[in-house]
Structure formats: structure tokens, C-alpha cells
């Protein structure tokens, strides 16, 4: 069973993470602390919290992660035109949405741009979301 949480709790989490303060031990360590570690993954955290928000609001969501098969080597299982597939694929009733999540100065790759254009041409709502979009409430607004 899913844990009860408020959407504002996730927003507060990111505020704490940016400040490097984690007064609530229920949440993972702050992004500021994670960023100092070699295996920091703030983009993954943004994607996971966006997925939780979407599921809470009734969306069907899928993310196809890369898996590490050998130290330092990652692999994503797919057949066909897989490279560049968006981070999040979402459906709710008649709404269809894809989103790429980016942190900092990261930008989309040409392969990601090609997929995003294809989804746009097919009538999907297409987004590239950042931490600023989460903190401003824009992601939640779009998903409502």
C-alpha cells in the first residue's frame, strides 16, 4: 500500500535538499550532501518524485532504467529505435505525456530531441522538466 504523502512534502524536500538541511530523517539525505559523493543522482530523485506525484494523481507511468552490467558499463534493454527514449512515459484517461528530466546545465541529446519531436507530432504533451519546474509547482500543475 502506498504511503500517504502530501505533494507539498515533496516540494519541501527539495527546498531542504538545496539548503543542505535534512530535519526530517524520513527523507533521503539532502541533494547538497549527495552532490559531494561520487554516486550522487539528483536527476534520479527528481524523476522518482515526479513519478510518485503522477501516480498519486492517477497517471500510469513508466521509466525504463539503465542497469549496470559491468563496473562502469550500463545497458538499457530495448529493441528498435531505443536510444533517446524519454525518461517518463505517462497516460491518464485521454491525456498522454512524455517528459525528460534534467538537472543543472544538462540538455537533451539529439536522439532525445528526435523522440520528443516524434511524440509531439503524434499528439503527445512533451516536456523537459528541471528542478526549478518542480520547486515552482509547474510539474504538479501540469499533471493535475
* pLDDT at 81 (0 to 100): 84
CATH number at residue 123: 3.40.1350.10
Condensed to tens digits (0 to 9), the pLDDT of residues 82-106 reads 889 999 999 999 999 999 999 989 9
Quote the domain boundaries for residue 99: 41-143
Is 99 inside any structural domain?
Answer: yes
Q: 58: phi > 0 → left, psi -120 to 50 → alpha, else beta; which?
A: left
3-state secondary structure 1-48: CCCCCCHHHHHHHHHHHHHCCCCCCCCCCCHHHHHCCCCCCHHHHHHH
Q: Is residue 66, in this structure, part of any structural domain at all?
A: yes
Global confidence as pTM: 0.68
Does residue 8 fall inside a structural domain?
no
Q: Classify residue 85: in a domain, yes or no.
A: yes
Grid coordinates representing 13? Answer: 524536500
For the CA atoms of the chain, what is the radius of gyration? Answer: 16
Q: What is the pLDDT of residues 31-73, one digit of tens each?
A: 434 444 445 568 888 999 999 999 999 999 999 877 777 787 7
Summarize pLDDT for 110-138 with one digit per residue, the tens.
999 999 999 999 999 999 999 999 989 99
- pLDDT class for 144, splitting at 50, 70, 90? very high
Q: Is 72 inside any structural domain?
A: yes
Amino acid at each position: 500500500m502506498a504511503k500517504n504523502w502530501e505533494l507539498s512534502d515533496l516540494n519541501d524536500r527539495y527546498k531542504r535538499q538545496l539548503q543542505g538541511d535534512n530535519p526530517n530523517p524520513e527523507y533521503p539525505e539532502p541533494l547538497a550532501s549527495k552532490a559531494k559523493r561520487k554516486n550522487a543522482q539528483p536527476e534520479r530523485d527528481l524523476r522518482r518524485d515526479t513519478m510518485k506525484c503522477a501516480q498519486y494523481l492517477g497517471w500510469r507511468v513508466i521509466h525504463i532504467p539503465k542497469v549496470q552490467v559491468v563496473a562502469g558499463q550500463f545497458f538499457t534493454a530495448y529493441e528498435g529505435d531505443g536510444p533517446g527514449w524519454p525518461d517518463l512515459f505517462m497516460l491518464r484517461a485521454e491525456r498522454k505525456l512524455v517528459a525528460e528530466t534534467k538537472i543543472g546545465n544538462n540538455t537533451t541529446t539529439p536522439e532525445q530531441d528526435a523522440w520528443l519531436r516524434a511524440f509531439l507530432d503524434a499528439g503527445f504533451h512533451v516536456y523537459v522538466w528541471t528542478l526549478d519546474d518542480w520547486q515552482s509547482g509547474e510539474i504538479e500543475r501540469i499533471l493535475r
